[in-house]
Structure 1
Amino acid sequence: MGLETINGFELGEAAKLCDLAVLTVPYSSHETILKIVKEYLQGKILVDTTVPLQKEVTKVSLPKAGSAAVEAQNILGDDVTVIAALQNIGSHLLSSEDRIDAEVLISGNNEAALNLVTELVEELGLGSWHVGPLENSAAAEALTSILIAINKKYKRKSSGIKITSH
């Protein structure tokens, strides 16, 4: 992707100016950041990449809401369209020029927003699958702990997933 201009903004200002926001913060900051940007995201799309990792990162630990993405929807309200994606793709992979050999699970309740996020994911060179409503984001979030466990046990840098069908 060719970026001609990059500007930095304070969180609220950035949320106010965007059409679509991507939340990429540690789970410990998730709720705080959402409350800061809530008023500015009304009527917009939020792509939530958050995974609720705890101290023991190889053990699945989901929040009471069922997933971080559902938690985001509950905090932001119905006028923000939350789409969950990219939970299983490490930031070090996204910032690399190398091809990523994995696919992305995308969940949400708005078909147009799902399609838009799918296009953005494809621009990153990744395949993707719509995996149902936002509540299904719990599976992708939980899968991250499993992938981390695989990485640790088998001394891999970045395991990922691919969906196969016959």
Structure 2
Amino acid sequence: MDILKLYLDITVFSLLGLMAFIATWFTLERLLAYRKVDVTTYNHIDLLTVDLTRNLTMISTVGANAPYVGLLGTVLGILVTFYELGMSGTMNTGDIMVGLALALKATAGGIALAIPSIIAYNLLMRRVEVCQAEYRAYEALNQAGAARG
């Protein structure tokens, strides 16, 4: 139990930090990639969609799972708190409250990571929808021009 107590925070927050790095990296990568997208170079909308949605799953996965990582840290923190209270044989409410408050910081960290990740994912998905609409409009204009000519 001492190992869990000693490494719990560093493990949970290192994992959340790694997840934050991944979400940030892929968000920036997608933003840079979207700046170079030219819908007129694609022969089919599905090929465009594949290029546009690349790496979005990772951002969504971080947003969906960060609260669970934080919750796991909180549950383990509460477990350590109750274990220590049980081993000490005393019921000091101050110790209980401090232990529980410190355990909840992991959940807060997970939620703090999830919110911007989901926002980034939704904004990027909106850009995907706009590019798909531009492609469909371009194709419709080309077909109308070909029918006239």
Q: What's the TM-score once normalised by structure 1's chain length?
A: 0.25
- Which of structures 1 and 2 has the bigger CA Rg? 2
- Structure number with the bigger relative contact order (C-alpha 8 A, sep ≥ 6) is 2
**TM-score, with structure 2 as normaliser:** 0.27
The structure where helix makes up a greater share of residues is: 2
